Amino acid sequence: MTDLASAGDLVSLASLSPKAIAHIIDVARSIKRDSADYADLLRGKRLSMVFEKESLRTRFTFDIGMQDLGGSAVFLDLSSAARMGTRESVRDMARNLERWTHGIVARTYRHRTILELADTADVPVINGLSDHLHPCQALADTMTLVERWGDVKGRKLVYVGDGNNTCHSLMTAATKLGMNMVVCTPGGYEPDAEVTAVCEAAADETGGSITLSSNLMESVHLADAVYTDVWASMGQEEETEERAAVFSDYSITEDVMDATKDGSSFMHCLPAHRGHEVSRGVIDGPRSIVFDIAENRLHAQKAVLALLLGPADAFDGGLV
Ligand code: CP
Ligand code: NVA
């Protein structure tokens, strides 16, 4: 259920091979370069978008992505409603949506809700963020690094902050692409142990590495890129104050970026809180590539849509 190739879903990057992730990025770059060539690829296809949480980037880029590829999207906003499974079961919802549309993007609190949708629906299910993972974000993040660096193997990428959904998908994509990934969190906020184990196995295969640390300055030393995300994710609003105290020493400031390599990049999935996880000078400064990443959400997701909903022979190369 979690493999783009075998099950036709994109729930997680964990079961995708390094080759499959590189292929999605290649397709995304082709679509970005020659977008007019793909204007009819999904003609007549419809996408359901069911979101339990707010969104700017994911919502716009999936909707625009479908339009760019000749299809259309229908949005169901559940952000002010009860979670999925309350009015009717998640499985019944999936059985309805698959009758009207050719794919489902879901943004949920519980990761289990996405797994249940994917398990039930006969059409592709795409994870548009759950409490556990944010795979579409990581595809855009790594695509942006490939654009900048060409070969990303051996590059040092440091994620600083909460070991959350964004972190889990980023570390998975990065190690599968052979990068040296460092995840720096305060004690007690480390990434999930199972995700870390997947990254260790991926790093063994690709020649990359995964290191966990709580020492900020040691972690960012000579980094090629530093990534951070909000300290309190959607659904953790009540912990905002407590987390601000725990994470206050992990803010990405100019001093932190000074310890990185010349020409290094600052990354963030957005939305950002200036003066908290990142200083204004860094996110609005010359090293920041946050809006390049936001732009690439569109291209990376068009690749995912094209590969999952488009004709099987549209692109050379497999996804295994
Ligand atoms: N980065 C991201 O997923 O943004 P949205 O929450 O606005 O979709
Ligand atoms: N970790 C953040 C990412 C938002 C795109 C959250 O889940 O709120």
Q: Can you list the domains of the chain with their CATH numbers? A: 3-134+295-309 (3.40.50.1370), 137-291 (3.40.50.1370)
pLDDT at 318 over 60: no
> Residue whose CA is closest, atom 1 of ligand 2?
233
Average pLDDT rounded to a whole number, residues 227-232: 98
C-alpha 71: how far from chain center? 23
Average pLDDT rounded to a whole number, residues 52-67: 98
> Residue whose CA is closest, atom 4 of ligand 1?
57
> What is the DSSP code string of 4-68?
TTTTS-BS-STTS-HHHHHHHHHHHHHHHHTGGGGTTTTTT-EEEEEESS--SHHHHHHHHHHHH
pTM: 0.97
Q: Give the closest residue to 145 by CA, choosing from 252, 260, 296, 270.
A: 296
Q: In this structure, are strands 46-51 and 103-107 parallel, antiparallel, or unpaired?
A: parallel
- Provide the pLDDT for residue 89: 95
pLDDT at 180 over 90: yes
Q: How far is the CA of 166 from the centre of ligand 2 (A)?
A: 7
> Which percentage of the chain shows pLDDT scores above 90?
92
- Provide the pLDDT for residue 294: 98
Average pLDDT rounded to a whole number, residues 33-55: 97
Confidence of residue 167 (pLDDT cuts 50, 70, 90): very high
Average pLDDT rounded to a whole number, residues 54-61: 98
Q: What angle do CA 103, 108, 109 make, to 5 degrees?
A: 165
Q: What angle do CA 113, 142, 297 make, to 5 degrees?
A: 60
166 Cβ contact partners less than 8 Å away, ≥ 6 residues apart? 134, 137, 138, 229, 269
2-22, pLDDT tens digit by residue?
Answer: 344 345 999 999 999 999 999
- Provide the pLDDT for residue 316: 77
Taking the CA of residue 60 as reference, the ligand 1 atom at the shortest distance is 8
- Provide the pLDDT for residue 3: 40
Q: How far is the CA of 204 from the centre of ligand 1 (A)?
A: 31
Name, of 3-7, 203-207, 313-317, the range with top average pLDDT: 203-207
121-136, pLDDT tens digit by residue?
Answer: 999 999 999 999 999 9
- Provide the pLDDT for residue 317: 59
Look up residue 27 and give its two tokens.
């397709």
The whole-chain average pLDDT of the chain stands at 95
Q: Which residues line ligand 1 (CB under 6 A)?
A: 55-58, 129, 137, 269-270
Reported residue count of the chain is 320
- Provide the pLDDT for residue 81: 85
pLDDT at 110 over 90: yes
Q: So which residues are the catalytic ones? A: 107, 134, 137, 229, 269, 297
Do 139 and 84 meet the contact criterion of CB atoms below 8 Å apart?
no
- Provide the pLDDT for residue 7: 52
Confidence of residue 80 (pLDDT cuts 50, 70, 90): confident
Q: How far is the CA of 58 from the centre of ligand 1 (A)?
A: 5
